[in-house]
Amino acid sequence: MKKIAIAGLLCLAGTAFAQEELKIGAIVTLSGAGAAWGQAMLYATELAADDVNAKGGLDVGGKKYKVKVVPYDDKYQAGEAVTAANRLVFEDKVKYIIGPVGSAAALAVTPIVDKNKVVMLTLGFTDKALGKDKAFNFRPNLTTMETSQPQINWIVKAKNIKKVGGLFPNDETGQQIAQDLEKAYSKAGAQLNAKEFFERERVDMMPLLTRMMAKGIDAIELDGNAPGTAGLIVKQARELGFKGFIIRSGGPATPEIVNVAGNGAANGMLVNTPINPANTAVKAYSDRYFAKYKKRMNGFSPAFYDGTHMLLQAMSAAGTTTDTDKVRVALENIKDFKGILGTLNWTGAEVYGAAHQISAPFYIARVQDGQEVIEATCSLTECK
Amino acid sequence: MNVSTMTENHNKGARTRAFDQAPGNAWKAWIPALLVLFAIPLLLAGNPFYIHLAVLICLNIIFVNGLALINRTGQLSFCHAAFMGMGAYAAVICTVRFQTPFLISVSAGVAVSMLAAYLLGAVILRLQGVYFVLVTFCFGELFRLVMLEGGDITGGANGIANIPPARLFGFTFDSKLSFYVLAAACAFLSIVFLIALFKTPKGNSLDAVGDNPDLAEASGISIQGSQTFAFVLGSAFAGFSGALLAHYLGFVSPESFNQHISVAAIIMLVIGGRGSVLGPILGALIMTPLPELFRSAIETQNIMYGITLILVLKFLPMGLVGIGAKLRGKKGQP
Amino acid sequence: MIRLRAFGDTAVDFTFLIGQALTNGLIIGLLYLLMAIGFTLVFGVMRVVNFAHGEFYMLGAFSAYVCVTKLQLPFLAAVLATFILTLVLGWIIEVVVMKGFRGEELNGMIATIGLAMILQNGALMIFGPDPQSMPAVAEGVVSLGPVMLPMSRLYVVAFSLVVLVLLYGFLMHSKGGRALRAVVQDIEIANAQGIRSQFMYPLGFGIGVALAAVAGALMAPVFSVSPSIGSTPLLKAFIVVILGGLGSIPGAALAALLLGVFESVANPFMSSSFSDMLLFGFVILMLIFRPSGLLGKAGR
C-alpha cells in the first residue's frame, strides 16, 4: 500500500520533466484473494517501464517516450474490472492494458478493449480469454492448457501414478483447471478420480483430504489453488499421514508453499516451474524485485516482465504508440524474443484460433529442502 | 425518534402526514431539480467514463430504493444482492437461451425476483430485527452457492458472457450514452413511483408498521401484509436493476451478487438516509463514484467507509438527509 | 447439478473415514465453540450482532504471529498477551464506538460492519495481503489405529479446553461472571438487582471479542495468517449461534460441536458446497420454526 503510494508519487514526479508520455494501464488485484498475482503483474510492468525510462525513454519513430504505469484495483471482481477498464480507456486514454488477473474479469473487460482497440495482456486462465474475434487480447504466461499435458504425461509415466485426487477453489479458475486436468490425466493413462471444490477462504482441508485418502489415491494435485491455500493442503495432508506424491501442475508458488507447509512437509513435491534455478537473468530480476518492493517475487512476474518488454518492442517496431492495429500486428510478428525466461514465441492458433498465447520453456522440479531441483525440461510438446 | 413523541396523542393519519412532511415537503420543487440532475451527465457526453459512472449511479438508485422500501417497514434485508442476482440471471437466461426480446427478459427477471421474495417473505417475515437479518444473510449465501453450482444453466463460477445489449422498439442501447438515457429514465420512474406510493394510504401504512408495529397493528394495519408487500416490491426493484445491469455490462457471475454488494447497498442507504425518498438517491449519488478517488489504494477507501458509517450512525441517524432537518432549527427533535 | 457421492466405484476404508472424520469434527468444533461463545456473549449483553467478530479472530492470529515470530515469546505467553491486549482493545472500542448503540439491534449491527471494515483494512495496510505462517507448536502425529491425530491440533484441543474451563469458572463462580450472566439473561432484572450494567457492557464486549482473538491465536500455527481469515469463522459463529439460540451459552456449546462433527462426517458423503447448502437451508428452517435455538425456550 505504502509502496503503491510511493510508486504513484514517483510517477507524478517523473511526469514533471517527461518528454512525451506513454501510459500503460494495469487492471490488477491489489486487495483480497488474488493480490499476490496482481502485485506480481504490476511490479513486472513497473520494472520493465523502469528499464526503458532509465535509457531516456522508449524510442518510437525517433521520439522518446517516458513510460508511465497507471494501476487500478479490481478487487478480484468482474464488475469492478469493467469500471476500471472504462476509466483507463476513456478517462486516462490508455491504449495498452496489463491484466486483469481473474478469468471472469478478463472476459468481462474484453468487449471494452476490443471495441476501443486497446491491446491487453491478461493472466486469465480461461480458454475463452483468447480467440479469433479477440484481436487485441494476448496472454504472456503459460496456463494449465499449455503445460498440463506434457508435464502430466511425464509424471504419470516416471512415477507410475494411477489415481489422483485434486482440491480446487470453487471459482472460475478452479473449475476451469479441474476440467483441463481431468482430461490431461485420462489422456496420460491415469485418473483424476477424486475432485473436491471448496470455498476460496476455507482453511481446514482435513475433511476433504480424509475423504480423498479413503479412496486410495497415489497423488494429490494442487494446481489452481492460491499459494497460501496450496501450502495448507500440503501441511495438512502430511499431518494426516499421506505418503503419496504431491503435484502442482501449474501456477508457480513454491516459496509460498514451503513457507506455509514447512520444509519437511514440502519435500518431494513435484512442481511446474517456469524458472530454471540456473537461469541467472531471472535470479537477477528476482533480486531487483526484492530490492525495490521488499517482497519475494511470485513466479508469474517474469512472464509479465518479458510480456511488457515485448509490447514495448512492438511499439518501437510499429513506429507508433497510437495506431494499435499496427502495434498489435507488430506484437504478433515478434519471433524468438530473448526474454529473461528464455526464447519466446507466440502459439495457440489451433487451440484458441489466434496465436496470442506465449510459448516458453518450462520445467518439472522436485522440491528439496525448500529449493527446486530440476527433474525434466519441457516444451509445449514433451518433457525430457 | 421525533415522530413517536408527537404521535402519542394523535391518530394515525395525522402521524404519518407529519412524518412525510418532516424531511421536506417540496416534492414539486425537486422533481424538476431531479430532472436537471439526470440531465447533467448528458453534457459530459464527451467522456464515456463519466457516463459509465452515471449509469452505475442510476442502477444503484433503483437498487437502493428497493432496500429503502423494505427498510421503511422496519426490516433490514441482507440478501438484497441475491434478488438483484435473481433478476439478472433470470433475464439473461431468457435473453441468451430463449432469445426473448429485452422487455420480456427484464419482465421475467423482475417476476422471478418477486415470486422468490413472496415465497421467502411468507415464511421469514414473521421474524423481527436481528433474526430477520440473519436469515436473509444465510439466504444470500445460499443463493450464491446455488449459482456457483448451477452448471450449464448459470455457467458456474465463469458466469454468462456475451449478453446482447438491450433493445427496445427497434432501438439498440449499445452505446453508453443511449443506455444512460434508459437507466436514467428507469431511475427517475422508480423515484416518482416511491413518491407517489408514500402519498397513498398504503404507503403511509408501511411507514406506520416500520415506526411502531404495535401501534400500527392496534389501528388495524396488518404487519405481515405490509411487510410482505414491501419485501416483494423492494426485491422487484433489486431484480429490475440486476436485469438492467446484466444487459449493460454484458456479463453476469455469482461474485457480482455476493454479501459485499448487499452490504454496499446498506451503506448507501444508511449514509444517504433511511425514512425518506431522497436518502437512497443521495446515498447512491455519493457512494457510487467515491471508490474512484481510491482506485489504487482500496484499503484507505474501506477504512474511510467504516469511519463514515459509524460517524453517520452516531451523529446523523437519519443520514445525510438529516442534515437539512437539523439545519432547519431541529424541528421536532426532542 | 448436485453431486451426491456414493462409494460404488472405489474401495474405501470405512474405519479410517469415520474415525478420522469424527476426531477432525470434534477438534474443529472446539474452535467454533470459542468463536461462538464470544459471539453469543456480546449479543447477550449488548443485543447487537457483532459483524466484526471475525476480525477479532484475525487480530488474535496476527497478535500471536507477531509475539512468536517477532518478539520470540513462547506460545503460551503469546496467547495470554493476545487475550489481555484484545480484552483492553475491546473495552476501549465498546466505550468509544459502541456505547451509543447499546441495545439498538439494527444500528448497532451496522456500526459493527463499519468496525469490521476498519479492522480488516487496517490489518491489510499494516501486514499486506500475503498469508503468513508461524511455526507449529508441536510436530509429529499420534496414531490411534488408522486414525491420525496431528500433535499441532491436539495442542489446540488442550488449550481450548483450558480456556473453556477458565471461562466456566469465571462465569459460574466469580462475582463479575455471575453479574455478566445475569445481564445476559435479563438486563432489566439485573439492573433491578443493582448490578452496575455500565460496567458490564464493556466487560462483556471485551471478553467476547477476546475469546474470538484467543481462537485466532490458537489456530494461527495450524492454519495461515492473513487479513481475510476472519470471514469463515464469523460465518460459522453465526450458524452455531443461530442453532444454539442467540444469547444461549449452553446452546452454543452443543451446536458448535454438532456443527464441527456434521461438517466432517457429511464431507465423505457429499461435496463440500452441497453440505454448505444443506447447512444454510437447515439454518433458515431453524430460524423460522425454532428461532430460540436447540436448547432455547420455545417461542420468544
CB spacing of C280 vs B314 below 8 angstroms: no
For each of the domains in chain A, give its residue range(s) and CATH number, in order of start. 2-142+280-347 (3.40.50.2300), 144-273+363-378 (3.40.50.2300)
Would you state the cell numbers that stand for residue A124, as one nine-digit string?
486469465
User: Please, what's the largest Cα pairwise distance for chain A?
Assistant: 67
Chain A residues interacting with chain C (CB cutoff of 8 angstroms)? 1-2, 30-33, 35-36, 39, 163, 170, 193, 196-199, 201-204, 206-208, 210-211, 213-216, 227-228, 231-232, 236, 239-241, 256, 259-260, 262, 295
Lowest average pLDDT, out of A250-259, B111-120, C94-103, goes to: A250-259
Residue C14 lies in a domain: no
Nearest to B303 among C47, C49, C121 (CB): C121
- Could you say which residues from 149 to 188 on chain B have a Cβ atom under 8 Å away from some Cβ of chain C? 149-151, 153
Query: Is pLDDT of B297 > 80?
Result: no
Beta-bridge partners for B133? none
Q: Mind telling me how many Å the CA of B122 is from chain A's nearest CA?
A: 30
Contact: B48, A175; criterion CB under 8 Å: no
- Give start and end residues of each alpha helix (H) in chain B: 2-7, 12-21, 27-43, 48-71, 80-98, 102-124, 129-148, 151-154, 176-197, 201-211, 213-218, 223-249, 259-272, 278-287, 298-315, 321-327
Q: How many CA atoms lie within 13 A of B305 on its CB side?
A: 33
B8 near A CB under 8 A: no
DSSP B53-78: HHHHHHHHHHHHHHHHHHHTTT---S
Mean pLDDT, residues C20-38 taken together: 88
User: What is the band of B55 on the pLDDT scale with cuts at 50, 70, 90?
Assistant: very high
pLDDT at B333: 41
- C-alpha to C-alpha distance for A99 and A124, rounded to whole angstroms: 8
For A215, nearest residue in chain C (alpha carbons) = C12
- Measured CA to CA in angstroms, residue A45 lies from A9, A68, A87, B83, B331 at distances of 17, 10, 19, 40, 58
- To the nearest whole Å, the CA of B105 is away from the closest chain A CA by 21
Residue A206 contacts residue A240 (beta carbons within 8 Å): yes
Cβ contacts of B249 on chain A, cutoff 8 Å: 78-79, 82, 108
Q: What would the mean pLDDT of C260-283 be, rounded to a whole number?
A: 82
> Contact, A65 vs A19, CB < 8 A?
yes
Determine the average pLDDT of the residues in B170-188: 90
In the complex, which subunits touch A with 3 or more CB pairs below 8 angstroms? B, C
Confidence band, pLDDT 50/70/90 cuts, at residue B17:
very low
Q: For C105-127, what is the mean pLDDT?
A: 90
Query: Which chains have 3 or more CB–CB distances shorter than 8 Å to chain C?
Result: A, B
Lowest mean per-residue pLDDT among A267-271, B277-281, C286-290: C286-290
With a cut of 50, say whether residue B233 has pLDDT above it: yes
Note whether residue C213 is domain-resident: yes
The residue segments making up the domain with residue C129 are 27-226
What's the mean per-residue pLDDT of chain A? 87
**C117–B133 CB contact, under 8 Å:** no
- Which of the residue ranges B26-40, B103-117, B276-290, B317-331 has the most confident prediction, judged by mean pLDDT? B103-117
User: Which pLDDT value is given to residue C232?
Assistant: 86
Residues B139/C284, Cβ–Cβ less than 8 Å: yes
All residues of chain C having their beta carbon less than 8 Å from the beta carbon of residue A36 are 129-130
Annotated domain spans of chain B: 44-327
Task: Give the pLDDT score at C39.
Answer: 92
B160-161 vs A119-121, strand pairing mode: unpaired
| In contact, C56 and C123? CB cutoff 8 Å | no
Give tens-digit pLDDT for A59-87: 998 889 999 999 998 888 888 899 999 99
Nearest to B264 by CA among B310, B309, B299: B309
Q: Would C296 be classed as within a structural domain?
A: no
Please give the helix or strand (H or E) that residue A134 lies within, else none.
Answer: none
- What pLDDT is attached to residue C45? 84
Chain B residue whose CA is closest to A124: B158
Of A175-184, B209-218, B289-298, C41-50, least confident by mean pLDDT is: B289-298
Rounded CA separation A266/A270 (Å): 9
Q: How many Å apart are CA A282 and CA A339, to the nearest integer?
A: 9
β A219-221/A163-169 pair status: parallel
In a domain, C132, yes or no: yes
Q: How far is A198 from chain C (nearest CA, A)?
A: 6
Q: Is it the case that residue B7 has pLDDT exceeding 60? A: no
C97: which chain B residues are within 8 Å (Cβ-Cβ)? 310
Query: Mean pLDDT across the stretch B26-46?
Result: 76
Residue B75 φ/ψ, nearest 5 degrees? -110, 145
Quick check: A199 and C273 CB within 8 A? yes
Summarize the confidence of residues B222-248 as an average pLDDT.
Answer: 95
pLDDT of residue A153: 92
Of residues A368, A365, A366, A361, the one with CA closest to residue A382: A361
Vertex A173, ends A172 and A178: CA angle to 5°? 100
The confidence band for B298, taking pLDDT boundaries of 50, 70 and 90, is low
Task: Provide, for chain A, the percentages of residues in helix, strand and coil under a 3-state DSSP scheme, each rounded to the nearest 5.
Answer: 45, 20, 30
Number of CB atoms found within 10 A of residue B158's CB: 20
Band the pLDDT of B334: cuts 50, 70, 90: very low
C75 against A17, higher pLDDT: C75
Across chain B, what does the average pLDDT equal? 84
Lowest mean pLDDT among A286-290, B197-201, C10-14, C132-136: C10-14
Nearest CB to A31: which of C129, C152, C272?
A: C129
Residue C222 grid cell: 495450524
Query: Per-residue confidence at C296, pLDDT binned at 50, 70, 90?
Result: low
In tens, the pLDDT along B261-281 reads: 999 999 999 999 988 889 999
Per-residue model confidence as pLDDT tens digits over C142-165: 877 777 788 888 888 888 899 989
Is the pLDDT at B95 greater than 90? The verdict is yes
Q: Which residue of C has its CA nearest to B150?
A: C1
**Residue A51 identity:** D
Whether B158 sits inside 8 A of A79 (CB atoms) is no
Kind plus residue range of the DSSP H or E element containing A346: strand A342-347
Say if residues C37 and C248 touch (Cβ distance below 8 Å). Answer: no
Strand partners, A119: A96
pLDDT at C3: 38
Residue A374 has pLDDT above 70, yes or no: yes
Sign of torsion over alpha carbons C41, C43, C47, C50: positive
- Is B135–C284 a contact, with Cβ atoms under 8 angstroms apart? yes
C289 found inside a domain: no
**Does pLDDT of A293 surpass 80?**
yes
Residues with Cβ within 8 Å of C31's Cβ and at least 6 positions away in sequence, in order, are C156, C160, C215, C218, C219, C233, C260
What is the CA A104 to chain-centroid distance, rounded? 15
Mean pLDDT of A11-21: 56
Least CA distance to C25: which residue of chain A? Answer: A207
The whole-angstrom separation of Cα C46 and Cα C200 is: 9
**Radius of gyration (Cα) for chain A, nearest Å?**
20
**Which stretch of DSSP H or E encloses residue A58?**
strand A58-60
d(CA C275, CA B149): 12
In this predicted structure, which of A240-254, B155-169, C138-152 has the lowest mean pLDDT?
A: C138-152
pLDDT value, residue C80: 94
Is C41 a member of any domain?
A: yes
Q: Given this model, what pLDDT does residue A338 score?
A: 93
Name which of A294-303, B219-228, B233-242, C87-96 the model is least confident about: A294-303
What does the pLDDT average to over C218-222?
A: 89
pLDDT at position A9: 46
Side-chain half-sphere exposure of C217, counting CA atoms within 13 A:
29
Q: Does C9 touch chain A (CB under 8 A)?
A: yes
Structure confidence at residue B299 (pLDDT): 67
The DSSP secondary structure of A333-344, one letter per residue, reads T--SEEETTEEE
pLDDT above 70 for B141: yes
Q: Give the other-Cβ count within 10 Å of A199's Cβ.
A: 18
Write out the DSSP string of chain C.
Answer: ---B--SSSS---HHHHHHHHHHHHHHHHHHHHHHHHHHHHHHHHH----TTHHHHHHHHHHHHHIIIIIS---HHHHHHHHHHHHHHHHHHHHHHTGGGGTT-HHHHHHHHHHHHHHHHHHHHHHH-SS-B----SS--EEEETTEEEEHHHHHHHHHHHHHHHHHHHHHHHSHHHHHHHHHHH-HHHHHHTT--HHHHHHHHHHHHHHHHHHHHHHHTTTS-B-TTTTHHHHHHHHHHHHHH-TT-HHHHHHHHHHHHHHHHHHTTTB-HHHHHHHHHHHHHHHHHH-TT-SSSPS--
pLDDT for position A384: 83
> Nearest by CB to A111, which of B48, B250, B299?
B250
The confidence score (pLDDT) of residue A33 equals: 61
The predicted model gives A288-293 an average pLDDT of 92
Total domain count, chain C? 1
Task: Name every chain B residue with its beta carbon within 8 A of the beta carbon of A126.
Answer: 158
pLDDT band at C193 (very low <50, low <70, confident <90, very high): confident
C-alpha cell at A59: 524510442
pLDDT of residue B27: 64
DSSP bridge pairs for A194: A165
State the CB neighbour count (10 A cutoff) for residue C298: 8
Judge residue A19's burial from the number of C-beta atoms within 10 Å of its C-beta, 0-12 exposed, 13-18 middle, 19 or more buried.
Answer: exposed
Is pLDDT at A347 greater than 80 in this prediction?
Answer: yes
Residues C48-63 have a mean pLDDT of 95
Number of residue pairs across B and C with CB atoms under 8 Å?
A: 114
